[in-house]
Amino acid sequence: LKTSSTVNLISGFFVISPQKSAKMRLRLAGAVLLSAAAYYVYLPLPSGVSEPWKLMLLDALFRSFMQASDVAHTLGVCHRVHLLNRIVSWVEEIEARSCTAVHVADSTLGGVPTRVFQPKGGKQLKRGVIYFHGGGWVLGSGRMRSYDLLCRKMAEELDSVIMSVDYRLAPEAVFPDQYHDALAASRAFLSAQVLERYSIDPERVCVSGDSAGGNLAAAVAQELSSDDSLTAKFKVQALIYPVLQALDFYTPSYQQNRAVPILYRPVMARFWLQYLGADMSLEPLLLANNHSSLDQPAISGSTRSKLDWTALLPAERKKHFRPVVKETGSPGVMGKVPQLMDVRAAPLLAEQGVLGRTPKAYVMTCEFDVLRDDGLMYVRRLQSAGVAVTSDHYEDGFHGCMVFAYLPMMSSVGQRSMNNYIHWLDQNL
C-alpha cells in the first residue's frame, strides 16, 4: 500500500493539464523568439560607444529595412532605394506645422523644394542658415521628423531663419544633380530678394549640413566663396560628420569602424557609387582601394597628398593602422568613374587657394564613424590654408548621432552634439 501510494503521488505530480501544457508551449515559444531577437539585435560594439543598446536597436531596425529593400530589389518589385525611402517617409516625414514660437512652411528656393522655419518675434533682422540633410545622397528629406525638430530648435534658440533643402536623390538624380540643387538653392538664399523677404541679415548667413549634406555644404562653400559676383557671402560653414572623399577606403577610421553601425564601410561605398551614377559591381574594387592604386595615371602625387592621412591626422587617430596603397589595381575604374576626382563631389581634393577663401568653419566628427578621418583631414587642410576652424570631436559618438537627440531614439551624445553645434552657431554667426 505504501509503495502504491508513493507511485500514485509521483504519477500525479507529473500529470500536466492541457491548459498548463499550452502555457508552457507559449512560454517556450516566447523564449525562443526573444532569444532570436536578442541574437539579431546584439552586436559587439567598442566599449566607448555612447549607450550601446540604443545603437544596437537602431542598427537592427535599419538592417531590417535594408534587407527588406534588397529582397524587393532582387524580386524585381522595385529599386531597393525606392522601398527604403518609402519606409523612411512613412516612419519619419511630417507635415509643415507652425507653433507659437516658429512659423513653418514648405516653399521653394532656387526652384528646389525647401522647408522654411521662421522665428516669431525677436530681432528685426535675423540670422540665416541653409541646411542640407544627410542620407548618402539617396535617402532622407528635410521633412523628416528628426530634421524638422532640429531646424525648429535652431530657429527658436538662434532667432534665425532656417531653410532645409530637399535636393534631388539617386537613383533618379546622380552627380552633379544634387550639387546643382544645393548650389541653386544657396545662390537663391544669398540673393537680395530672399534676404529681404525673410528679413535675414546678409552679414550673418551660414551653410550647413550633415553627412552627405555636409559634403554638399562644403562643396557649395568652396564654389560661392570664390564667386566675386555675389553681394552676400556665407559668414560660416558648419559641417556635421561630412563625407569628403572616395579615393581611400582604408583611412584609420574606415579600418577601425568598418563594422560599427549605423554606417558600415560597404554601405558608404555603395552610396558613393549610387551618387556618382556608377556600376554597382565596382563596389569590391573601391573597398580594396584598387581604384586609387599607384598605377592610376589620373591620380597625381599632389592629389594623393591632399588625403595623405599619415601626414594629416594626429597620432592619437592614426594609432596602429597602416595605409593600404596598391601598386597595381584596376586601371579602368577611373575611366569609368572620373567623378571620383571631381572636387565638387570630393571637397577634400580642393586646392589650397580655394580652401583659403572659404569662411570660418565648424567640423563635427565622431570617434566611431567611418567618416571621422574625412572630417579631421579637412580640418587640418583648412587650418593650413589659414581658415579659422573649430574641430568638435565626440569620443563616444557614432555616425548620425546628432539627429538622434529626441525620442524614441534619444541619445546622450545626440543631445550634447546638437546643443554644442547650436551654441557654436550662436557664438560665431
Residues with a known catalytic role: 211, 369, 399
**Amino acid occupying residue 196:** E
Residue 92: how many CB atoms within 10 A of its CB? 15
| CA 84 to the chain's CA centroid | 16
Contact 232, 195 (CB under 8 A): yes
Contact 158, 190 (CB under 8 A): no
Beta carbons within 8 Å of 196's beta carbon, 6+ residues apart: none
What gap in Å lies between CA 225 and CA 151, rounded to an integer? 24
**Amino acid occupying residue 364:** M
What gap in Å lies between CA 7 and CA 89, rounded to an integer? 65
Q: What is the DSSP letter of 145?
A: H
Residue 130 main-chain phi, psi, to 5 deg: -105, 130
H or E element in which residue 118 lies:
strand 112-119
What gap in Å lies between CA 362 and CA 349, rounded to an integer? 18
